[in-house]
Structure formats: C-alpha cells, structure tokens
Amino acid sequence: MSVNSESTNSFQLPPEVLEICDLAENIVSKELMPLEAEFLNSPDHAFGIKETLNLEAVFGKDTLDHLMNIAKETGLWTLMIPEDFGGAGLSMLSKVAILERFYYTAVPFPFANVPNILYDCKGEQIEKYLNPVMSGEKTTCFAQTEPNAGSDPGGMMQTKAVKDGEDWIINGTKMWISMAAESDVMMVQVVTDAEKRQRGGITMFLVDRNNPGVKVEEDGIKTWLGPKASQYIVHFDDCRVSNDAILGGVGNGFRLGQRWLTIHDRLLRGPFALGKMQRALDMCISWSKQRHTFGKPLAERQAIQWKLVDMYTDIQSLRALTYQMAARYDQGEDIRVEAGLIKLTSMDWGARCLDHGIQIHGAMGESLELPLTLFYRYLRHGQIGGGTSEIQRMQIARKLLKD
C-alpha cells in the first residue's frame, strides 16, 4: 500500500493512531488481499450490506470467525464506537485515516458499524437495540427514501404514523433501502405532522423487521452494483409500534436522519473512495512499468503519464479535503454542508480516477479478476445514492450565497 504518510502526518495524528494505521495496512496485506480473488469471483457478495454478512456469505463461518477474532483482539472491532460506550474514543480524523487503509481492498474487514443516531437510545432501547448492534448480534438499515421522495425527503415524504392509544400505526412504502432484507432493526423516518414536516413533523421509529406490519420485497431491486440484490422496497401496512419505539422524541426524526447522513453517507465516503483510488493508482503504476507496446513500457507514454498524474492529483486533493473536514468535525463545527462537499468530490473524482485506471489497463481493466470495475461501480453509484451530486451542489451553493 502506498498511502502518503506525509499528508497524514500533516494533520498531526498521534503516534498511537499511526500505529493503528500500520496495523490496518498489515491486516489488509496479510489477511484480506489473499482472499480478494475468491471474493471477486463469488456470486454471493452484495453491495452495501454489513461486513460480517458479506464475509460469511462468501467465505463461510471459519473465515468470518478468524477475522472477527483479529478485530476483537486488536481492538479494531470498536474502532467507530465512542469511549462512553466502550469504544476506543478515537477522533473522526483518526477513524478516517484508519478506514482508508481498509478500503484498499474489496474484501471487507468486520467491525461494529453502529449508526451514530443509535447512541440516542434511552431506557429499554439500549438493551433492545444499541447493545446488540454494538456486539454484532443485530444489524440495522436506514429507511428514508421513497418512490417519489428521493432527493427531497422532507418535502415529499408520504409514509406516515398516526397515534392510536399508546401505540402508533405506520403506513407507507420505502424504496432503495440497503440491508432491508438482512437487517433486524429498521430506522424508519415517517411523517407525524404534515404541516411541520422536516421542521418538527418527521419522527424516527425503530421497527423490528419481523413486525407483522412490515413486508420486504425479498427479490430486491436488481442493479449493476453486484451479483446479488442489496436494495429493497419495504411496505408498512398498518404496522403497529409502541411509543417506546420512537428514537429521539416525536418530531426529531429529520434531524436524526441528517446526522446519520452527514457522517455515514457523506463524510465517510471520503475514506471509502480514497482507499479504492489509491489501490487503482498503485495498480496502474505497476502495470504501466511491466506492460509494453511497440517496444516501450506504457510508463514511457505521455498519455499514460498524464493519467497517472491526474489520478495522483485527485487522491492528494481529496485526502487533504477529507482530513480537514474530519478535523473540523472534531473541533465541534457543524459540517453538514461540508460533508456534502466530501460526498460530491469523493464520488465524482473517485469515479474519474477509476475510469482512468480501467483505461490504463486496457482490456484487462474490464476483467472481473481485478477489483477496478467493482470499485468503479461503487463510486459511480455514489454520485446518485444517498443524495445526488447535483443535490450536494445545490446545498453548497445555498450556503455560499447565504453567507
């Protein structure tokens, strides 16, 4: 791996975090990379599902248990968990730097991927939802998008909940929900006040997937992201939930959803893209030195050299921007719009970088034996999923003009 340590050190990561980065690189090199060919050739992996589920589906329980033991023995299992809940208490900048190393390969590494809004659980919710998710016993999905409410969920959301005694009744349909069929708990945004909507009229409910009022279309939505469907349509038909299923209080659901999106679907897209972009550049440098055309290695062709420089420029720029925004988050700044900037640049530049990588490899770049096309599909999808690049530009422009 060739992550530029100078750009990491410039953000003053402490020595102990740099040691974790080295540990992550070692695990990727010795444990994950040898599994990559099998992973790429398997029909059983799916985009967007929990790392443990992907590992078990492709390699079986023995390999999953082996990697889980490594994760727990090294403390990496609690990488993303706050110190107050038994985690390492690492800064967001540290997490971003470490995650970048793991995203260098297509093979996922297991860790407790806890949605940040679950830390708002209170009372019985902690034992029922938060603790099982932190331990890996339960999985979650985030259900916001609807057939006619994608980029404007606050204004167009139709799924609603009405009070019925001590309970609530949910009706509506969610679409493009990753992990819906595999999850145990759904974090569902619904309208509880049609007048207020995103300004106090949307509530977040924690809904068990096996609730009789929940129906997941099991076939899923087929896309180009992988051999198996990973996104689903979910119907709520007179779905009865108790008042205790509300996360964060009535009317606070939109705020919670934005907090989830800010970190999980925007800021963390930075390291997700960087690992893949760095891998593509490393592969291209190696390939261009060994591949010859008309008596010369590709590395001596100016057209190839310039593509390599473009890839390198995108990586260095995105890494600096991502680390800066993570550091600003650690300082307590509101980075909702800036996280959108990370999503915009990481997905746009990432797709461009992988496109160069495929082109440099020629016909071999299209081979499914290499991770390049899979990486490209993941990053190209990010220009749409979780809020399109156009929506990110609109939000950034709005802030610029307001300021």
Q: What would the two tokens of residue 73 be?
A: 């023995």
For the cut 90, the answer to whether the pLDDT of residue 155 exceeds it is no
Largest CA distance in the chain: 80
d(CA 403, CA 216): 43
pLDDT confidence of residue 44: 93
d(CA 105, CA 259): 28
pLDDT confidence of residue 140: 96
For the cut 90, the answer to whether the pLDDT of residue 355 exceeds it is yes
Confidence of residue 95 (pLDDT cuts 50, 70, 90): very high
d(CA 61, CA 293): 45
d(CA 209, CA 334): 33
pLDDT confidence of residue 9: 52
Question: How far is the CA of 346 from the CAs of 50, 52, 178, 209, in angstroms?
Answer: 21, 25, 20, 32
Q: What would the two tokens of residue 167 be?
A: 């309970």
Compute the average pLDDT of residues 105-134. Answer: 96
pLDDT confidence of residue 2: 56
For the cut 60, the answer to whether the pLDDT of residue 3 exceeds it is no
Domains and CATH numbers, the chain: 5-113 (1.10.540.10), 140-252 (2.40.110.10), 268-402 (1.20.140.10)
Confidence of residue 13 (pLDDT cuts 50, 70, 90): confident
Give the range among 182-196, 217-231, 261-275 with minimum mean pLDDT.
Answer: 217-231
Q: What would the two tokens of residue 142 be?
A: 């985030």
For the cut 80, the answer to whether the pLDDT of residue 113 exceeds it is yes
Judge whether 156 and 146 are in contact, CB under 8 Å.
yes
- Residue in the block written with tokens 């190209």: 380
| Termini Cα distance of the chain | 41
Q: Which letter, b or e, does each residue of 234-263 get, where b requires 16 or more Cβ atoms within 10 Å of its Cβ?
A: bbbeebebeeebbbbebbbbbbbbbbbbbb
pLDDT confidence of residue 206: 98
